[in-house]
Amino acid sequence: NAGVTQTPKFQVLKTGQSMTLQCAQDMNHNSMYWYRQDPGMGLRLIYYSASEGTTDKGEVPNGYNVSRLNKREFSLRLESAAPSQTSVYFCASSAGRFNYNEQFFGPGTRLTVL
């Protein structure tokens, strides 16, 4: 039982390059999330997926796209990376039940855009 896994762990991109961050969970959770974390800014929600087949924008969606490939997998794509997207990216999952929505986080991807 690996929980939430993310790949890659580290990535360096040049401005304008594209990449996809992968996330998978094996807890049979309905909901999945992508956050970014910057110093002094806390966790900011980029996109989330309440259930398989649905995705919604969070607080900071500009410059990103997501795909909920199946119940297990939720990917985040940067089409044209910018230095402002340098950050640590966390994927999380939860059962999605209204009141008991405890989130479980992956280990994170540290992305640098030059």
Partner 1 sequence: QKEVEQNSGPLSVPEGAIASLNCTYSDRVSQSFFWYRQYSGKSPELIMSIYSNGDKEDGRFTAQLNKASQYVSLLIRDSQPSDSATYLCAVNGGAGGSYIPTFGRGTSLIVHP
Residue 100 in contact with partner 1, rule: CB under 8 A: yes
CB 104 within 8 Å of CB 112: no
Dihedral class, residue 46 (left if φ above 0, else alpha if ψ from -120 to 50, else beta): alpha
SS3 state of residue 3: coil
**Minimum CB distance to partner 1, residue 55 (Å):** 13
Nearer residue to partner 1 within complex by CB, 28 or 99: 99
* Count of CA atoms in the C-beta half-sphere (13 A) of 49: 26
DSSP for 39-95? TTTEEEEEEEESSTT--EE-S--TTEEEEE-SSSBEEEEESS--GGG-EEEEEEEE-
Q: Is 51 in the site for partner 1 (CB under 8 A)?
A: no
The residue within the footprint of partner 1, chosen from 84, 97, 112, 114 (CB under 8 A), is 97
Q: Is 27 in the site for partner 1 (CB under 8 A)?
A: no
Which region, judged by CB under 8 A, interacts with partner 1, from 9-17, 19-27, 75-83, 91-99? 91-99
Closest distance to partner 1 from the beta carbon of 15 (Å)? 25
Interface ranges with partner 1 (CB under 8 A): 31, 33, 40-43, 45, 48, 58, 90, 94, 96-108
